[in-house]
Every structure is written in C-alpha cells, then in structure tokens.
C-alpha cells in the first residue's frame, strides 16, 4: 500500500497556492484542496501513487477554474438554425448591444422626465417607436409573449367568454399551451369548429351575452395541411365588431418584414393584423423581430390603457435592459435598415454566393468539402421551411466525437451532424467569428 504519510498537509498546500488564494479567496481554495487531497487519499488506499504537492495544487486549480466558469456562455452557432431556441434565439445588433451598455452601465431616465424633473412612466420610451413602426394607436411591452397573452385575457376577459377555434389550441415550446393560459386568466374558453376546419358561422353561433372577445392564435410552430379551412382575420374582425366584441390576435413570431420576399412562407406581420382590424396584436421580441426577449402588445389606445392599469402588468413588465435593446432594434425598422443591421435578417437575406465564399475560405485553411445543405429559421417560426445554403464538411472519421470536441472548445462551436457528416453552416456564424471557427477546426 502506498504510504499516506507522503500526502502534503492542507497548510503546506495553501502556502504553495498563494496565487489561487488571490484569485478565488481563502475559503474556496481551502475547500478545493481538501477535496483533491481526499480523492488522492482514497486512490492511494487502492495502491495509486501519491501525487506531488505541485500536482495537487494543479488539480485544485483546475477544479476551481471549472467551478468558476459560468454555465451561461457565449457560443458560435454553426448549426444553420437562425433562431436557435437553445442557443438564445436572436443575436442583437451592435446598436442594441450599445443601448444595453448605456442603459445598464449607469443611471438612466427609466421612470424620470428630465424637463419637468418628475417621475414618469417607463412605457413612454418604447411606445413612441412601436407606434411609429407598426402604425398602431398605442403599445406596451412585457417580459414575453406568453405574458402578453395572459395579461390581455386577464384584463379584458376574466369571467367572460373568449371564443377560439379548436384548431388554434396550440402548444409551443416549453409546454406553453393556449388552453392553460386561457384558464389561468379566468376567461371562459369557448371552442368552435374542428381541428382542421373552422368557418365564420362557427364563431357567429357561439356569440352570446357572455362573449367579450374572439381570439386568434397563430400556429407558428406547425402546419395543418390537406382538408383545412380557416377564417380570414378581416372577416373575424368584422364579425367581432358587429357584435361589440374585441378581436385579440396572437401572431407569435413578431414578423415586421415579409418573409415571403426571401423564399420562405408568408408569416403574418403585425402591420397586417392591425390593417385587418385586430384590436390588439401580441407577439415576441426575440424571434422574427430580432431583438431581446419581450412580449409586445399593440393596438387600440383604450385597450392598451386598460392593460397598463391592471395589477398583473407590473408583475410581468419588461426591465430597463430589454426596453433599451428593443428600442434600438425597432429603430432599425423605422430607419429602413433592418436587413443590414438586424443579425437574423442579415442571415435570412444572405445570398448563396456570399455563403459559399465563406465556406470555401474555411475549407482553404482547414480542408474539407463545401457541400450543399439547408438552413432553417427555427425558434418556432415557419415550420418546415428551409433556405438553401453551403456548409463545410470537415474530413473527420467520427463526426459525433468531433462535434463534441468543438463544443468543448473556448469559445464552444456548435455544429450539426447530418448523414454521418459534420457540417458547419456559415449562414448563422457572425462574420467576425470566422477566424474563431477556423481556429477551432484546426484544433481537431
């Protein structure tokens, strides 16, 4: 049996760990040293050699570095999935990042009016640009779209009937189910039509003195094809207004530009919903809008004011960082520069030639084949739609092992494995990250 008397004492190890103590603190270093000594003692009892003092200190340093590394880390998305939910959805523009720093690095006018020197409301910062971009009478922001839907139903339909098609009782990511949200709001859900076909007369038949609103929920993450029928939004609006009801339209992804212009299916835009007669339109900020996580509500000024006054609004309001980044992102749309400035729209509109040039530049430095592939929008948007792309397929014998090694790098590079090939798609890699991708591939 290896002699345990050769194990250094904790005091001796601490004297050799002054740099670690300066970095992590005395308590953390002491605990780490005790753990590595205990592990070494157990191994020695099984006839393993006793590590040297330097080796034990190195083990403690490695353990401390791993513990100190944050789990929320920047990664390089080479998967070709533009709105990758697991990777944080939409990356922000440079201007949005600058707005984050400006709004969070010091004090701000979040709820302060400079000219009068009095308290003001935070909604004013975002409402101006929201109405300018969408043409809505008024708008407000909460922390995500699910919260926006919950607030609208709670404030306007609690204890009253909300009419919705059975085909729109959807579930999106994270087990968010429309029926559950309606139940939580206290609204009485009235289902009409069938899963695949709902007609205008189905809605009309369900209207009674209890009814207060009609709800449309866009099926953003799946498609129903074949023998189907839905009611155009303008017809729903006419019916609702004929009976004095409110039309709520949850469009989900928050498109402000026409996705069909880029070879994708048409995704309903906020502007179209308002033009069709929706009284309130609700959508996300971090999907096709390309900003931070937020729930955006636009529409009639009187209804928005009712929502702002509801007690739930304070519980789900957006913070100053989300407001700053969202405001900067919306400015890109107002200036007509979203395709150039908003990263997800740069990716969607990127030409095949530009993608191929980048993939070939990677291949020239690390080898591999440039192959035709497909990118997807992701994020619960445009299900089944793809964009043609070019990807680099490095020459690796074990693609899954290679993908794991890329994920273990610093920064981690997230690739995909398809048809037993490792693929890296330049479409979702920010241009300034190209050199980092090449360096990571060279490490393979």
Together in a domain, 415 and 286 = no
Per-residue pLDDT, 387: 95
pLDDT tens, position by position, 170-226 = 877 666 788 888 889 999 999 999 988 999 999 999 999 999 999 999 876 667 777
Together in a domain, 353 and 410 = yes
Together in a domain, 349 and 374 = yes
- Tell me the pLDDT of the chain (444 aa) as tens digits: 456 778 889 999 999 999 999 999 999 999 999 999 999 999 888 888 889 999 999 999 999 999 998 889 999 999 999 999 999 999 999 999 999 999 888 899 998 989 899 988 888 889 999 999 999 999 999 999 999 999 999 999 999 999 999 988 887 766 678 888 888 999 999 999 998 899 999 999 999 999 999 999 987 666 777 777 889 999 999 999 999 999 999 998 889 999 999 999 999 999 999 999 999 999 999 999 999 999 999 999 999 999 999 999 999 999 999 999 999 999 999 999 999 999 999 999 999 999 999 999 999 999 999 999 999 998 777 878 899 999 999 999 999 999 999 999 999 999 999 999 999 999 999 999 999 999 999 998
Among 319, 340, 361, the domain-final residue is 340
Together in a domain, 205 and 257 = yes
Question: How would you write 34-86 as a 3-class SS string?
Answer: HHHHHHHHHHHHCCCCCCCHHHHHHHHHHHHHHHHCCCCCCCEECCCEEECHH
Together in a domain, 324 and 255 = yes
Together in a domain, 254 and 394 = no
For the record, the structure tokens of 79 come out as 């998967």
Among 340, 375, 402, the domain-final residue is 340
Give kind and range of the element (H or E) at residue 119: strand 118-119
pLDDT tens, position by position, 64-102 = 999 998 889 999 999 999 999 999 999 999 999 999 999
303: containing domain:
92-340
CB 32 within 8 A of CB 60: yes
Domain count, the chain: 3
* CA 394/CA 371 separation, integer angstroms: 10
Together in a domain, 168 and 289 = yes
CA diameter of the chain: 91
* CA 350/CA 90 separation, integer angstroms: 16
* CA 379/CA 259 separation, integer angstroms: 14
Together in a domain, 327 and 377 = no
Distances (CA, A) of 362 to 165, 355, 394, 427: 50, 11, 10, 13
Q: What residues are paired with 118 via a beta bridge?
A: 113
Together in a domain, 374 and 410 = yes
> How much of the chain is helix, strand and coil, in % rounded to 5?
50, 20, 30
* CA 55/CA 6 separation, integer angstroms: 13
Q: What residues are paired with 211 via a beta bridge?
A: 161
Angle at Cα 302 formed by Cα 301 and Cα 305, nearest 5°?
A: 85
* CA 104/CA 395 separation, integer angstroms: 45
Per-residue pLDDT, 221: 61
CATH code of residue 404:
3.90.1150.110
Return the SS3 of 337: coil
Among 288, 311, 340, the domain-final residue is 340
- Which of the 8 DSSP states describes residue 258? -
Task: State how far Cα 173 lies from the chain centre.
Answer: 11
Per-residue pLDDT, 246: 98
Together in a domain, 153 and 279 = yes
CATH code of residue 307:
3.40.640.10
Together in a domain, 145 and 121 = yes
Together in a domain, 335 and 306 = yes
């Amino acid at each position: 049996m290896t002699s345990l008397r050769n194990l250094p004492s904790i005091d001796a190890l601490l004297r050799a760990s002054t740099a670690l103590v300066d970095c992590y603190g005395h308590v953390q270093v002491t605990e780490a040293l005790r753990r590595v000594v205990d592990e070494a003692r157990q191994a020695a009892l099984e006839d393993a050699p006793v590590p040297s003092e330097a080796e034990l200190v190195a083990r403690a340093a490695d353990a401390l570095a791993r513990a100190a590394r944050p789990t929320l880390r920047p990664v390089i998305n080479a998967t070709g999935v533009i709105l990758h939910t697991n990777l944080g959805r939409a990356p922000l523009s440079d201007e949005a990042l600058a707005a984050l720093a400006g709004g969070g690095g010091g004090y701000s006018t979040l709820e302060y009016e400079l000219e009068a020197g009095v308290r003001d409301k935070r909604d004013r910062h975002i409402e101006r640009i929201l109405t300018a971009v969408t043409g809505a009478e008024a708008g407000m922001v909460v922390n995500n779209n699910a919260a926006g839907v919950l607030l609208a139903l709670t404030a306007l339909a609690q204890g009253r009937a909300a009419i919705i098609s059975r085909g729109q009782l959807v579930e999106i990511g994270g087990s968010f189910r429309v029926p559950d949200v309606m139940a939580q709001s206290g609204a009485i859900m009235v289902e009409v039509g069938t899963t695949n076909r709902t007609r205008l007369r189905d809605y009309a038949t369900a209207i009674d003195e209890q009814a207060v609103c009609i709800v449309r929920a866009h099926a953003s993450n799946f498609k129903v094809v074949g023998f189907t029928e839905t009611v155009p939004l303008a017809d729903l609006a006419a019916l609702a207004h004929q009976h004095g009801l409110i039309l709520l339209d949850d469009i989900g992804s928050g498109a402000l530009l026409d996705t069909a212009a880029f070879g994708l299916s048409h995704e309903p835009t906020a502007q179209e919903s308002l033009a069709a007669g929706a009284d309130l339109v609700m959508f996300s900020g971090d999907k096709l809008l390309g900003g931070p996580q937020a729930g955006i509500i636009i529409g009639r000024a009187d209804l928005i004011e009712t929502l702002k006054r509801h007690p739930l609004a304070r519980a789900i309001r957006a913070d100053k960082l989300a407001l700053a980044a969202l405001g900067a992102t919306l400015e890109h749309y107002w200036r007509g520069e979203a395709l150039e400035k908003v990263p997800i729209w740069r990716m969607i509109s990127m030409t095949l030639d530009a993608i191929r040039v980048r993939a070939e530049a990677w291949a020239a430095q690390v080898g591999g084949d440039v192959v035709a592939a497909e990118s997807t929008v992701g994020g619960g948007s445009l299900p089944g739609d793809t964009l043609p792309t070019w990807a680099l397929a490095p020459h690796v014998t074990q693609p899954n092992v290679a993908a794991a090694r890329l994920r273990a790098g610093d920064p981690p590079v997230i690739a995909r494995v398809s048809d037993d090939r490792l693929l890296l798609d330049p479409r979702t890699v920010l241009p300034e990250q190209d050199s980092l991708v090449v360096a990571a591939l060279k490490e393979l």
